[in-house]
Structure 1
């Protein structure tokens, strides 16, 4: 058989093939209504289609009153505990909360002091990567996207596990704990490789320290001097807690359920979840918020002028400003309407860090946009429910104040959400459900086969 080099095929050929692929993939939008397809697995009123049951996380945003949806302030529940109460608990005790949150999500109850200390020591023991893993897997093939580095590293860890395909709960729990413990190192080392090999910066590889919390280790490994303030570590820890779980229906967690239902290994399931989270519609939204605010700061003459802010937000909605998408990033959520509890909690602590960093004027601008954007959106768009600031609205600002590079924003989300993914993977295995396989209706017309020599 004759061989060909890819260079022999010109761009016109690929353009023609691309157009053919687009044409053959198009489905008439009217057919979705005709066949009552729940696009995005959501009803027309925005409610998610019920596809499973879980005891791990609950996202609550409305009540039914005589069959009518009544929007209420959002609540986020971890294993029956309101996130507000969980945060107040560890903040009042002046301690870190992420490790306790991981314990709660995995085991369904809050640990006592002895159990929590032992669990923290267990995670610390799992932090160490296999010998030469950072050099051979991460540094020798640096990626320009840390999420890809993270996914590739997770898949590579399969090769270092003698029981990689064992899906017993005992083994899966060990695998999940190892991944939870080493995700910070995988992500940070991926960034250091990117910074060095693609950004021509000095290479810093700091080992995690067993006596530090997850949040402290991230800052210690990320910064050249390993130094951080108490407030910085506390706020990063809070962000991890708020991102750790969001019910079974969010895209990456649902992917975890879908892939786990096939009976595959933990590494494959988690790398698939990482791929889902990488998407800008899911895990990358806070990056767009930061970019949008950089644009707003450049364009506004007076950050305190509500009328000027409203006018610019209107221009964003009409696709005349920023990225011409028509979206005010960080405002609105698929589930929450009146408020996102994560954003409400984070906002108070963001104000404290902004004062410490001398960025109070910028925080006031964020607060003004948070207040005015829902009004502008309601005047411009027909909505079935209200909109409010979501956690992405403030989390990007937090990461920027912590000098976390933008390339690490979505990996930070993954470092937190591995806790929820792990709990949901175990839940899917324990309940031994069927392989998840929703229906797709074919709307293609029937064709008569044509012999090769007769085709035009």
Structure 2
């Protein structure tokens, strides 16, 4: 049997692809004619209501005299403003991610004893099955860490005798295990790639039970296992701010949809990972970093606002970077005036930039944050305001933490698994119908032709 090149697009495949594209192209006007809200968003950009949740809430506008008016963005976890949550644990010099996970899962802030017990529980489950790293992660390294992570999650089902049990206690146990294991699966997957495909030394550390999730990520990743307190605190903040974002974001909605079918936890989380992997979702911060890399090469004087503005204008007019006409990290599907996560993050970003000696880059980011909304408003018709979103700064933070780009999205997943778990539990507990939206068929009906009478599609 001859080997097959899986990445080769042959002439035959290209012809079939052309046929597929020709016969699958729907006229854009039909979406308006049949009142289809593409992307489940109406013409004003507002999401179509598809469910109810108690887990998190996004506020981007407020009703005044019967009309909605944009406002500074607010984010609530289980009814608690994220600003207050962050202020609470930072003022007490504590790591906040574990507390945030508890809040999302159980709907209330833990007491000191409850938090300690929950931290111990996560540490207990932060252990992979015997030889899992060798037999699963190391055996098939990939350049794509999200694929590696999804494969590892699905493989873990083979080690679970109750993988298909969807009772609340069992699903909760599975979710807690996955929350505990995502840092290991992500970092070990990177080490496998870095050794077998990139040709570097193989470094594997065991997690430390006394360390927080953020500390363990840095401890596991770095060959010398060293990190500063500020580095760990800022990574912890990133995990908190990414932990959940309403029920309508693509990966969380995916988790709801797949959970509604009655499938197992591992499949539901793998589906959510597949969604998060997309560059329009979890991969957006990588686009921001690469855009700035290009900007730093093209803009000679980073402090010259005219030069920066011209580059941003070129971006919008498809003359710079990837010619997509986008300023990555600016604008959000929901927020208009501000993204509260970006606002919270920026304060810490500046502190880290000072520690790392990268204030010149921070000033460039700040200039783009200021100028981009003005340029977009001038050159584009927008139905609402635009502002920097959390992706705008998160990639810069990860680069200052010396996290490899391959781990940017898996770190996002390591945080968002908390929200996915809470939403999966909510979907199961409320046991609604399988989620099945309708699609309007617009194909022209045709008569069946016998094989002998058919003409070529070419």
Paired position in structure 1 for 2:12 = 13
d(CA) in 1 for partners of 2:11, 2:189:
37
Q: CA shift at 1:63, angstroms?
A: 1.9
Matches within 5 A, 1:55-66: 55-66=54-65
| Post-superposition CA distance 1:353-401 (Å, at most 9, x none) | 0000011111011000000000011111000000000000000000000
d(CA) in 2 for partners of 1:269, 1:117:
29
d(CA) in 2 for partners of 1:430, 1:218:
32
| Post-superposition CA distance 1:233-289 (Å, at most 9, x none) | 000000000000000000000000000000000000000000000000000000010
Q: CA shift at 1:168, angstroms?
A: 0.4
d(CA) in 2 for partners of 1:234, 1:76:
20
| Post-superposition CA distance 1:403-448 (Å, at most 9, x none) | 0000000001000000000000000000000000000010001110
Q: Provide runs of 4+ in structure 1 moved above 6 Å.
A: 3-7
Paired position in structure 1 for 2:261 = 262
Paired position in structure 1 for 2:128 = 129
For residue 46 of structure 1, give the secondary structure of its aligned residue in structure 2: coil
Paired position in structure 2 for 1:159 = 158
For residue 70 of structure 2, give the secondary structure of its aligned residue in structure 1: strand
Paired position in structure 2 for 1:444 = 443
Alignment gaps of 5+ in structure 1: none
d(CA) in 2 for partners of 1:241, 1:247:
14
Q: CA shift at 1:11, angstroms?
A: 2.2
Q: 1:246 aligned to 2:245?
A: yes
Q: CA shift at 1:6, angstroms?
A: 6.5
Paired position in structure 1 for 2:88 = 89
Paired position in structure 1 for 2:119 = 120
Alignment gaps of 5+ in structure 2: none
d(CA) in 1 for partners of 2:13, 2:116:
58
d(CA) in 2 for partners of 1:246, 1:435:
22
Q: Normalising by the residue count of structure 2, what TM-score does the alignment of the two structures yield?
A: 0.97
d(CA) in 1 for partners of 2:185, 2:350:
30
d(CA) in 1 for partners of 2:10, 2:305:
49
Q: CA shift at 1:68, angstroms?
A: 3.1
Matches within 5 A, 1:7-46: 11-46=10-45
d(CA) in 1 for partners of 2:197, 2:320:
31
| Post-superposition CA distance 1:209-250 (Å, at most 9, x none) | 111000000000000000000000000000000000000000
d(CA) in 1 for partners of 2:4, 2:35:
43
For residue 382 of structure 2, give the secondary structure of its aligned residue in structure 1: coil
Q: CA shift at 1:24, angstroms?
A: 1.4
d(CA) in 2 for partners of 1:13, 1:263:
39
Judged with a 3 Å threshold, the aligned counterparts in structure 2 of structure 1 residues 123 and 5 are, in CA distance, closer, same or farther, namely closer
| Post-superposition CA distance 1:154-200 (Å, at most 9, x none) | 00000000100000000000000000000000000000011111110
Matches within 5 A, 1:109-258: 109-258=108-257
Q: CA shift at 1:59, angstroms?
A: 0.8
Q: CA shift at 1:10, angstroms?
A: 8.4
Paired position in structure 1 for 2:366 = 367
Paired position in structure 1 for 2:409 = 410
Q: Normalising by the residue count of structure 1, what TM-score does the alignment of the two structures yield?
A: 0.98
Q: CA shift at 1:13, angstroms?
A: 1.4
Paired position in structure 1 for 2:340 = 341
Q: 1:358 aligned to 2:375?
A: no
Task: Using the TM superposition, name which of 68-77 and 398-407 deviates more.
Answer: 68-77
Paired position in structure 2 for 1:423 = 422
Task: Using the TM superposition, name which of 262-271 and 67-76 deviates more.
Answer: 67-76
d(CA) in 2 for partners of 1:259, 1:77:
25
Q: CA shift at 1:109, angstroms?
A: 0.2
d(CA) in 2 for partners of 1:152, 1:66:
52
For residue 23 of structure 2, give the secondary structure of its aligned residue in structure 1: helix
For residue 76 of structure 1, give the secondary structure of its aligned residue in structure 2: strand
Paired position in structure 2 for 1:320 = 319
Paired position in structure 1 for 2:434 = 435
